[in-house]
Structure 1
Amino acid sequence: MSFQYRQKLFDLGKIYKISEIKNYLIRNKRLTTAQLELILLKNRVPLPFSDKNLPKSLYSFKLKEKIFTNLFLTVAIFVFVFSIIVSRPYIKSVVSKVKLTYVSSEYDSNYQLKKDIIQDDLKSAEKSFSLQSKKNKNKIKVPKSNFFSLNTMTTMNLFEDLDYDLNNVRSNKKIKPIYLTQLPRDLKDIESVKVKKDIFIKIILPLIVAENDNILKDRRIFFKILNKSNNSMGEKIWLNRKFKEYKIKDKDTSELKKRMDVIPVSIAVAQAAKESGWGTSRFALEGNAMFGQWTWGGEGIVPLDKNKSQSHKILKFPILRASVKAYKNNLNTHNGYKEFRTKRSELRNNNKPIKGLDLIHLLDRYAETGAEYTLVLEKIINQNSLAEFDDISLLQAENKKEFNL
């Protein structure tokens, strides 16, 4: 190597302010040309010639450096590809949620358009289904409401667009937040019992699961409050509100714990089916009354076949979900279902699942027929495999909307 080349190496050290070279010079230690080159390369300073002119030792050093660099890039690419493969199920789930949100928005934004489509669907429904027109002396009165009712055909199209299938719900144990506000007016005209039941279950199931989900959220808040030594004013107000909601006058937290709990989905669906005739009764269609609850002072529908001595009415609701909420409040507060709540609490305390078939016999006071009524409910649960819905939960989708349809 020439003196000029060696001087260039020193100049590069000064330009790039390589402290190691500076320290050697201060201590008057001589650096060989090879040492200078190694120090510069180590500090990523380009040498004043190409790799081809490098000495073998330096060329080998740079070659190893390139190999390590390429190896690092290869490993990084492999990790990236592997992470994509592993996260594929999650990505698929997110895409599904986005699709649900998109379809929800589409149905919500086309609200006015759907009103026009409904009239056409009423005609096409007669061709698509074997509808049996039945003459009824007591015509169903359409209640005045801010919501409008989809017909059966439109409802089925909606479920299909949202990929809503009961078999998937049974296997995945998840249900999408699809909330209809009223039953289809022509559901009673569907000739196929299987189709009628399928539509009814699809409508009522998300409403029941959603109310159970709200109760479970309240339970989590409740236990969080109980586990604190001091509660904030907001927590005390929340607790007092729940005492009032569950009709506990003495503010007994142990009683609130017993009452604030879910109703097995299978029981709720079976009772809704029994009390509403699978969504075809006059009370269900006129007043969204899914569970046949009586009232003596509230707004209700007068039964046509009641005795003169009876003064009750069937409680009516603005939307279906309100009926579900009232039903759950009834089972969780009425003194007639105290044994039901006690048994449910025992199951909960023993970390056992809350199943409908384990509790159904304790609802004999819901109807005048008593034990016979619970046997009918048990038969409905078994024949329609409703017990498979007891452990399903709500699919948490972003920007989920309640369909006011």
Structure 2
Amino acid sequence: MQKKISIFEIKKYLDKKGFIVKKKKKIRTEESEIGNLSRTFLSSLIIISIFFIAPLAINLTKEKMIFSKDYENNSKNNLKRLLENGTTKLDEKLNKKFLYEDILTFDEQPSDAILLSAATIEELFKSTNYDLEDVRKNKLVKPISLDLLPKEIVKIENTKKRKDLFIQIILPLVIDENNSIKLDRMKLFSILNKSKNTKAEQEWLNVKFKQYGVVNKDLSTLKIRMDEVPVSMAIAQAAKETGWGTSRFAQEGNALFGQWTWSGEGIKPADAEDDSTHKVMRFKVLQASVKAYHRNLNTHSSYKGFRSVRAELRDEGKKLDSMILSEYLDKYAETGKEYVKILQQIIRQNNLTDFDDAKLLPSSIDLESLI
């Protein structure tokens, strides 16, 4: 039986890959010793001055508090500030254990996942008329959700056949997660349009604030983070991170996006250094990996540029362009801009943007009017 992952044990769950904070060392010099004596003298003067300056400081603090309150209530200025600054380190530090709690719960649920062979999956797609060319033309995707990748996908020598099978498996999962976010956005917009909210709505908001790491419970921040990821971009990243479903991480741990963990659970990369503690996060089902990927892009400070540009596209009434948004994924991998070029190449060569406006049958028809 696989050991369950405690949310409190995963302190650095799904952090940016390779992100390490190094503290600067303090260097003592002769000049610094002299500086210390000077600072001691100055400190004495400061202590004496406090008694004279304190009343003025208190008044200034009061004025600052009033200004800050007015600033937070100014929605336009606040939105502009959020788009410019994005996520703060404080947001992540205080809320990391809550960000993925619902995803861990989802992944820990009893699963009746069945490992189907590639031939069986292909027959299933054929019998339900689930064909990628038809999807490109009619923009409708069959609601077929598979929990595991077939082992035989590694042995499929025909590149196009292997890629098509991988896309057919991943496509419904990505659209389904986007649909869940769409429904949440619909509810959020409904709440924003009300002058007074019910207790149930307030409780729902509190849950979403935790899930999206919004420390100050700012609705504008939540609106920016609670949004979709372009389907073509998600598929391209999954293809890049798994070698179109053939990697050991994808096969052994349903890890579609190469996300890292520092807990005891996960798969250690074969080329990792001996003293390295990170592992690639494993999941019981593919959908959990997709959920974690969306949450990662929607909350981590490394992708604040991605979220800012996405919000700007929304404000301008434009589609979420994966070629534009992928430019802001340079921190997803150590290769930086080269990683972005590869993603864009995968999107272009495989015409993945054809799937950006595809709908998942039958429920997604009701969601066409959403932004």
* TM-score bracket for this pair, using the shorter chain length: 0.5 to 0.7
1:247 matched to 2:223? The reply is: no
1:267 aligns with 2:230: no
Cα shift at 1:397: 5.6
Tell me if 1:354 matches 2:354.
no
Secondary structure (helix, strand or coil) at the match of 1:269 reads helix
The answer (yes or no) to whether the contact 1:288–1:319 under 8 Å persists in 2 is: yes
Residue of structure 2 equivalent to 1:303: 269
Percent identity at matched positions? 54
1:29-178 equivalence runs, <5 A? 146-178=112-144
Report matched runs for 1:156-235 at 5 Å.
Answer: 156-235=122-201
Q: Is the 8 A contact 1:357 1:387 kept in 2?
A: no
SS at match of 2:289: helix
For structure 2, the residue ranges without an aligned partner over 5 or more in a row are 1-109, 365-371
Q: Which has the larger radius of gyration?
A: 1
Correspondence for 2:330 among 330, 351, 364:
364
CA–CA distance in 1 between the matches of 2:145 and 2:255? Answer: 16
- Residue of structure 2 in register with 1:314 after alignment: 280
Distance 1:245 1:392 in 2: 27
Say yes or no: does 1:386 pair with 2:349: no
Q: Distance in 1 between matches of 2:289 and 2:264?
A: 13
Whether 2:233 is the aligned partner of 1:257: answer no
- The reply to whether residue 287 of structure 1 matches residue 253 of structure 2 is yes
SS of the equivalent of 2:280 reads strand
Contact 1:298 1:315 in 2 (8 A): no
Which portions of structure 1, spanning 4 or more consecutive aligned residues, are displaced by more than 2 angstroms?
A: none
Deviation at 1:186, TM superposition (A): 1.0
Q: 1:377 aligned to 340, 343, 347, which one?
A: 343
The SS at the match of 1:365 is coil
For 1:321-377, what per-residue CA distance to the aligned partner results, in whole angstroms no more than 9, with x for missing partners?
A: 000000000000000000000000000011001111111111000000000000000
Structure 1 residue 154: Cα displacement: 0.4
Flag the 1:313–1:169 CA change in 2: closer, same or farther, 3 A.
same
| Structure 1 residue 284 displacement after superposition | 0.3
Name the amino acid aligned to 1:197. Answer: K
Aligned to 1:344: 310
Deviation at 1:298, TM superposition (A): 5.7
Alignment-mate amino acid for residue 252 of structure 1: D
What SS does the aligned partner of 1:347 have?
helix
Aligned-residue Cα RMSD (Å) equals 1.4
**CA distance, structure 1, for counterparts of residue 187 and residue 345 of structure 2:** 36
1:146 deviates by 3.7
Aligned with 1:212: secondary structure?
helix
Letter matched to residue 246 of structure 1: Y
SS in 2 for 1:266: helix
SS at match of 2:353: helix
CA distance in structure 2 between the partners assigned to 1:357 and 1:390 by the alignment: 12
Is the partner of 2:330 in helix, strand or coil? helix
Distance in 2 separating the partners of 1:170 and 1:208: 16
Cα distance, 1:166 vs. partner? 0.6
TM norm structure 2: 0.67
Q: Distance in 2 between matches of 1:299 and 1:240?
A: 29
Q: How far 1:281 sits from its partner (Å)?
A: 0.6
Q: Give distance in 1, aligned partners of 2:264 and 2:318.
A: 38
C-alpha separation in 2, matches of 1:195 and 1:176: 19
Q: What is the deviation of 1:299?
A: 2.1
Higher relative contact order (CA 8 A, sep 6+): 2
Following superposition, the deviation at residue 167 of structure 1 comes to 1.0
Give the Cα–Cα distance (whole angstroms) in 2 for the partners of residues 297 and 397 of structure 1. Answer: 37
Give the AA of the match of 2:213.
Answer: K
Correspondence for 1:114 = none
Distance (whole Å) between structure 2 residues aligned to residue 375 and residue 294 of structure 1: 22
Aligned-pair distance for 1:308?
2.1
The letter for the 2-side match of 1:255 is T
Q: Which residue of 2 aligns with 1:113?
A: none
